[in-house]
């Protein structure tokens, strides 16, 4: 799934992405670390993997979108 980086805190390595419909979804350091990234800037296009549904959905991976 694709999203856009919305917020990122380098100290906690957590933040939020915006889904294409504008829904913000938070991610934690474990999801950021799983993607192997060192930095994330707001506005970057990212690929995410999630698990769960609805309010229980959580992001398990954040990485850069490549074409």
Query: Which pLDDT value is given to residue 42?
Result: 95
Residue 66 in this model has a pLDDT that exceeds 90: no
Question: How remote is the C-alpha of 14 from its chain's centroid?
Answer: 8
The DSSP secondary structure of 8-47, one letter per residue, reads: EETTTTEEEEE-TTS-EEEE-HHHHHHTT-S---TT-EEE
Query: Which pLDDT value is given to residue 53?
Result: 87
Report phi then psi at 19, rounded to 5. Answer: -70, 165
Digit-coded pLDDT (tens) for 2-46: 999 999 999 999 999 999 999 999 999 999 999 999 999 999 999
pTM above 0.75, yes or no: yes
Query: Which pLDDT value is given to residue 55?
Result: 80
């Amino acid at each position: 799934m694709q999203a856009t980086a919305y917020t990122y805190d380098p100290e906690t390595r957590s933040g939020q992405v915006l889904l294409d419909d504008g829904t913000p979804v938070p991610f934690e350091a474990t999801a950021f670390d799983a993607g192997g990234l060192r930095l994330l800037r707001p506005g970057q296009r990212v690929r995410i993997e999630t698990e769960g549904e609805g309010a229980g959905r959580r992001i398990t991976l954040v990485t850069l979108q490549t074409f």
